[in-house]
Amino acid sequence: MNPLLESSLRVVDDFIDQVWLGDGLAANTADSYRRDLAIWADWLAGEGKPVLAADRDDIQAFLARQARDVKASTLARRLASLRKFYRHWRQAERIADDPTELLTSPRRVRPLPKGLEEAQVEALLAAPDLGTAGGVRDRAMLELMYATGLRVSELVGLPMERLYLTEGFVQVVGGKGGKQRVVPMGDEATHWLTRYLTESRPVLCAGKAAPTLFVNQRGEPLTRQGAWFIIKGYATQAGIAAEKLSPHVLRHAFATHLLNHGADLRVVQMLLGHTDIGTTQIYTHVATARLQALHKSHHPRG
């Protein structure tokens, strides 16, 4: 082993022993510190430096190199390990300055929503059996979700009086702070909702009075879990891979497909009921990725 690395690893072991005794570290935490610091020591030995001689530039260069290969969450954890390590040795007066003191943690990158192609959505919408009352309800439900981007909780909780068929919109109360928004639903959703209300809902309710738009086979309000079970079943039937499924699958598709077809980000923010446009901006990455893929596939110089 490189003598410089061997010396640095002894310092790492001393650190683990001391914080384990002083802080009562859990075994998993100690192992995590040891792994992260061993990677750091190995990299630093390659630069010809022992761990206690490192400066802020060394750490920044290390993190920049690590960022190519690891997730932001792993990078943040490694920086946290370095902070703990150098803070300990600064307090023990083995080093004069803590090189991590003014460093900021890397931002955690939010995962992109799972995407559906437009053809996959069409297959999903076409999956219900329209020969049954439940099938007509499910088609209306799926069409409304895709047309409006409603959350599943907003869908199942939608009262009858907040559906405006003639005007072609729904009034939604949901999201943070229970804010109200008006969302247009388009001709297709209006058509299927009209059919559901005239043909299917009376059969399902069988004379019962239900306050919500969508009801189950017993004429009772459909639950969030029930709606998700229905969506999951049709998605499997439509050949949509399990990793692309989530309770928000049609909400994500609604936002992404609007942006793909040129909708303004602020309009999508309003339709989704997002308070912060930063929440909506995640969909622009999905849309941009899709457009780049189309360009690569179809442009002669892609």
Point out the residues that are catalytic. 151, 176, 248, 251, 274, 283
- Phi/psi of residue 8, nearest 5 degrees: -65, -40
Quick one: which of 252, 206, 210 has its CA closest to 231? 252
**At 129, is the secondary structure helix, strand, or coil?**
coil
Distance from C-alpha of 100 to C-alpha of 41, rounded to nearest angstrom: 15
71's torsion region: left (phi>0), alpha (psi -120 to 50) or beta?
beta
- Phi/psi of residue 92, nearest 5 degrees: -80, 0
Q: How far is CA 59 from CA 5, 56, 72, 107, in A?
A: 16, 5, 16, 16
Quick one: which of 187, 160, 182 has its CA closest to 171? 182
**At 159, is the secondary structure helix, strand, or coil?**
strand
Cβ atoms of residues 186 and 149 within 8 Å: no
Residue type, 210: A
